[in-house]
Chains A and B, each alone.
Chain A
Amino acid sequence: MSERATPEATDESSAEQADGTADAPTETTATADQTPEERAADRPVTTGAESVIRALENAGAEAAFGVQGGAIMPVYDALYHSDSIRHVTMAHEQGAAHAADAYGVVAGVPGVCLATSGPGATNLVTGIADADMDSDAMLALTGQVPSDMVGSDAFQETDTTGVTAPITKHNYFADDPDTAGDMVGEAFALSEAGRPGPTLVDLPKNATLGETDREPGPATTPKNYNPETEATAEAVDAAARAIESADKPLLLFGGGVVKGDATETARQFAVDHGIPVATTMPAIGSMPEDHDLCLSWAGMHGTGYANMAITHTDCLIAVGCRFDDRLTGGVDTFAPEAEVVHVDIDPAEISKNVHADYPLIGDAGTVLEQVDAELAHSPDATEWREQCRQWKEDYPMDYATPEDEPLKPQFVVECLDAATGDDAIVTTGVGQHQMWAGQYWTFREPRTWVSSHGLGTMGYGLPAAIGARLAADDDQEVVCIDGDGSFLMTMQELSVAVREELDITVAVLNNEYIGMVRQWQDAFFERRRMAAEYNWVPEFDKLAEAFGARGWRVDEYDQVADAIEEAVAYDGPSVIDFHVDPETNVYPMVASGGANGQFALTEDQL
Chain B
Amino acid sequence: MSSDETPASGGESLDAPRQSDDAPRNGLSGPAPEERPHPTGRRNSQGIRIDPEVEAEPKTRRTVLSTLVDHEPGVLAAVSGLFRRRQFNIESLTVGPTEDDDYARMTIVIEESDPGIEQAKKQLEKLVPVIAVTELDPDAIRRELALIKVDAEHPDKVQAVAEMYDGKAVDACSETVTVEITGSRQKVETAVEAFERFEIREIVRTGTTALERGARETADSTLADD
Contact = CB atoms under 8 A, between A and B. Distances in A.
A165 B5 contact: no
B19 to A, nearest CB: 5
Nearest to B126: A348
Contact of A396 (B1, B29, B47, B223): B29
Contact of A271 (B3, B13, B126): B3
A400 B20 contact: yes
Interface stretch (A7-15, A72-80, A284-292): A284-292
B174 interface: no
B1 A268 contact: yes
B32 interface: yes
Interface stretch (B37-45, B140-148, B188-196): B37-45
A399 interface: yes
A304 B29 CA distance: 10
Nearest to B130: A224
Q: Which secondary structure characterizes the binding site on chain B?
A: loop
Interface string A591-604: 00001011111110
A397 B47 contact: no
Which residue, B8, B49, B77, has most C-beta atoms of chain A within 10 A? B49
A137 interface: no
A488 B14 CA distance: 32
Contact of B29 (A173, A352, A355, A601): A601
Interface in A363-420: 369, 372, 392, 394-402, 405, 408, 410-411, 414, 418
A410 B18 contact: yes
B9 interface: yes
A536 interface: no
Contacts of B44: 332
A68 interface: no
Interface in B2-60: 2-3, 5-15, 17-33, 36-49
A556 interface: no
Nearest to B35: A394
Interface stretch (B116-124, B157-165, B198-206, B209-217): B116-124
Given A162-B77, A289-B14, A312-B37, A601 B28 contact: yes
A38 interface: no
Contacts of B127: 170
Interface in A205-231: 222-225
B173 interface: no
Contacts of B25: 400, 402, 405
B39 A337 contact: yes
Contacts of B19: 398-401, 408, 410-411, 414
Contacts of A400: 19-25
A602 B27 contact: yes
A355 B43 CA distance: 9
A492 interface: no
Nearest to A287: B7
Interface residues of A, number: 85
A354 B43 contact: yes
A294 interface: yes
B161 to A, nearest CB: 45
B28 A348 contact: no
A576 B39 CA distance: 46
B7 A414 contact: no
B97 interface: no
A584 B26 contact: yes
B41 A337 contact: yes
Which residue, B25, B26, B30, B40, has most C-beta atoms of chain A within 10 A? B30
Interface residue tally on B, bucketed by range? 35 or more
A440 interface: yes
B11 A290 contact: yes
A152 interface: no
A271 B39 contact: no
Given A170-B128, A394-B30, A601-B30, A272 B1 contact: yes
A353 interface: yes
Which residue, A269, A308, A331, has most C-beta atoms of chain B within 10 A? A331
B39 A311 contact: yes
A411 B18 CA distance: 8
B33 to A, nearest CB: 5
A599 B33 contact: yes
A348 B77 contact: no
Nearest to B1: A268
A222 B128 contact: yes
Contacts of A605: 32-33
A398 B39 contact: no
A253 interface: no
Contacts of A587: 27-28
Contacts of B27: 585, 587, 601-603
A421 interface: no
A294 B22 CA distance: 25
B70 to A, nearest CB: 8
Interface string A335-348: 01110000000111
B74 A336 contact: no
A271 B11 CA distance: 13
Given A601-B30, A603-B26, A288 B47 contact: no
A351 B77 CA distance: 26
A410 B36 CA distance: 26
A347 B23 contact: no
B153 to A, nearest CB: 46
Which residue, B17, B77, B224, has most C-beta atoms of chain A within 10 A? B17
Which residue, B7, B12, B24, B78, has most C-beta atoms of chain A within 10 A? B7
Interface in B105-137: 115, 118-119, 122-123, 125-128, 131
Contacts of A296: 14
Nearest to B72: A173
A406 to B, nearest CB: 12
A467 B226 CA distance: 40
A224 B131 CA distance: 7
Contacts of A399: 18-20, 23, 28
A390 to B, nearest CB: 11
Nearest to A264: B6
B49 A348 contact: no
B24 A602 contact: yes
Given A351-B115, A398-B23, A400-B23, A600 B5 contact: no
13 contacts: A271-B3, A271-B7, A290-B12, A293-B7, A336-B43, A338-B49, A394-B30, A397-B18, A400-B23, A442-B14, A442-B15, A585-B27, A603-B27
Interface of A: 161-162, 165-166, 169-170, 173, 190, 222-225, 264-265, 267-272, 287-294, 296, 304, 308, 311-312, 323, 331-334, 336-338, 346-348, 350-355, 369, 372, 392, 394-402, 405, 408, 410-411, 414, 418, 440, 442, 444, 583-585, 587-588, 595, 597-603, 605
Please list the 6 inter-chain residue pairs (A to B) with the smallest Cβ-Cβ separation, ordered nearest first: A602-B27, A336-B41, A354-B47, A348-B122, A398-B23, A292-B10
Given A162-B77, A440-B18, 7 more contacts: A165-B81, A294-B10, A332-B42, A336-B42, A336-B43, A399-B19, A597-B33
